[in-house]
Structure 1
Amino acid sequence: MVYYYFDGSMVGLLNCVFRAFQFREFQVKLCLFKNAQHGLFSSIVEIPNHEQYAQRVWSALQRKLSKPALRQFYFAYLSESLEAHQHLLNYCIYVFSQQGSVETDYSHPSVLAISQWTKKVGREKHRMEAFIRFKKTTDGLFLSLVRPDFNVLPLIQPHFRRRYQDQRWLIYDEQRKFGLYYDLHEIHEVSLQADEIDRNLENGFSQSFQLQLDEQEVLYDQLWKDYFNSINIKERQNIRLHVQYLPKRYWRYLNEKLI
């Protein structure tokens, strides 16, 4: 068994594929630099990040795979799971070893696994698009702090750009420490100290900002809570079913849940 140490990036992953074919090493186990473990007699390889090698592998994948399959590859990568990355490496080895298309060969464990990871990441993408709520600050910026299970900010970017073209907004991922800022023209990737914005991060809550909010924001917030309470029929509450459709980890984004 050969152990490949890599940094978890897409470039690093594609370089692992390049190395595997360069040295015909097809029994490979991926490890991250920060927590790599290996056997006493294992062969260890540190994988550098060469952009040109990564581009060669990606170009080859574009020739071998359809657009939906490439989309699945990207979604599975954004899971940030080392297990998923291992399947992506095995998948690439399988794809380049076969003459015909293997995209729907679900008898292969990595083809099936990538399809499953794609669904998981896709569900998180749709939930973020549905549940993200903004608060307006005094300078007119609409701000939201999120903590998705997977790295879906790159996937939700087109949705929010289409929907909020006339507003400046910032969606910041507390866990991954980067965000997307829209300035009415372009979207920029930014970083900041999220705990300076949200006083309750250590308690697992969000959207309780220390920034000064627009004077009408508190009013709108209370109006929405009042509306939610007025249409709620307590006698017909089914918390078990409610949690099934709206897991508690998403309640932190909803004003009506922060009463």
Structure 2
Amino acid sequence: MISYIFDGSFAGLLCCIFRAYAFKERQRLKDGQLRIYCEKDFQPELFAQGLGAWGSDEQGLNEQGLDDQGRLAEEITIISNDANAKRVWTALCQKTSGNFSRQFYFSYLSEQAATFQHLFELACYVFDHQDAVHANYGHPAVLAVTQMAKSVSREKHRMEAFVRFKKTSEGIYFAVISPDFNVLPLIAPHFKRRYADQHWLIYDEKRQYGLFYDLKQVHEVQLSSEANKSMIEQARLTASSITLDAQEALYDQLWKDYFKSTNIVERKNLKLHIQQVPRRYWKYLSEKN
């Protein structure tokens, strides 16, 4: 039993695949005996319980964390290497077709521990076969990755629809989001095209980073916890006195009046409304506050 521990980056995940074949560890281990973990999710004490939900019998481990040959599970820290990651990604794209690369990357952005393992298994499944097998939905990894990619894509579209900007006194439009998945890299092209003539900042409060557009390029930014709290609760960009534009409250009220005037009370369907606009998004919608 071997556990790969990577830094959580996309390159790190690809380097796990590179390591498995470069050291022939994939070939000499049984199925399910090579596990992938992100640093933030890895907990060595789980070995005593057979790696949690996966079960000790499934992994060939007993209650003491030993494999069927009485050896302790080996932990290997994977160092991200851009060159190795590029080799794996290029090879994957060459052996597949269609929107495989899109689904693979979308699934990675889910940040789910189980999905990291599915992505690893899917890549190995592709490399282990000469034929194009990436569309074989009978394989559990192919199906799991496809389903997760759809969930991430759905979250991406919702963020593009539900983001609400507020203008600061310095002319920067900002919005705070908290998506289920890390979709900021996916929604950046949409807002760059739609608001090409405006400075804007979209900040993910859950992951503590944001994207800032300076009219030319999109830059990744990070704010301190105090600044982030100030931005969310007091509508400020930093801990300093950068406040909202004087007319922002008027525009906010105008939008609420428009929303109210277009609403048909007699046709109100709260159940359907919640399906289309889940409650977790309401705190960022002006018409809901």
Change in CA separation of 1:126 and 1:194 when aligned onto 2, cut-off 3 Å: farther
How far 1:208 moved relative to its partner? 4.9
Change in CA separation of 1:53 and 1:248 when aligned onto 2, cut-off 3 Å: same
1:10 aligns with 2:41: no
Structure 2 letter corresponding to 1:114: V
Percent of aligned pairs with the same amino acid: 53
1:221 aligns with 2:252: yes
CA distance in 2, matches of 1:227, 1:52: 53
Name the SS of the counterpart of 1:144 in structure 2.
strand
Answer yes or no: is the 8 Å Cα contact 2:205–2:228 preserved in 1.
Answer: no
Answer yes or no: is the 8 Å Cα contact 1:145–1:207 preserved in 2.
Answer: no
**Which range moved further: 233-242 or 127-136?**
233-242
Name the SS of the counterpart of 2:200 in structure 1.
strand
Structure 1's unaligned 5+ residue stretches are none
Counting only pairs closer than 5 Å after superposition, residues 1-259 of structure 1 correspond to structure 2 as 1-26=1-26, 27-34=33-40, 35-37=42-44, 38=47, 39-40=65-66, 41-193=72-224, 195-196=226-227, 198-199=229-230, 206=232, 208-210=234-236, 211-258=242-289
CA distance in 2, matches of 1:108, 1:79: 20
Structure 2 letter corresponding to 1:11: A
TM-score by length of 2: 0.82
Matched pairs, number: 253
TM-score by length of 1: 0.92
**Which range moved further: 33-42 or 167-176?**
33-42
Structure 1 letter corresponding to 2:235: F
How far 1:182 moved relative to its partner? 0.8
CA distance in 1, matches of 2:77, 2:190: 38
How far 1:197 moved relative to its partner? 5.0
Answer yes or no: is the 8 Å Cα contact 1:78–1:152 preserved in 2.
Answer: yes
Structure 2 letter corresponding to 1:148: P
How far 1:207 moved relative to its partner? 7.0
CA distance in 1, matches of 2:262, 2:184: 33
Structure 2 letter corresponding to 1:2: I
Name the SS of the counterpart of 2:244 in structure 1.
coil
Structure 2's unaligned 5+ residue stretches are 27-32, 48-64, 67-71, 237-241
Name the SS of the counterpart of 2:20 in structure 1.
helix
Change in CA separation of 1:197 and 1:109 when aligned onto 2, cut-off 3 Å: closer
Name the SS of the counterpart of 1:57 in structure 2.
helix
CA distance in 2, matches of 1:127, 1:28: 36
CA distance in 1, matches of 2:83, 2:43: 25
CA distance in 2, matches of 1:66, 1:195: 46
RMSD in angstroms over aligned alpha carbons? 1.7
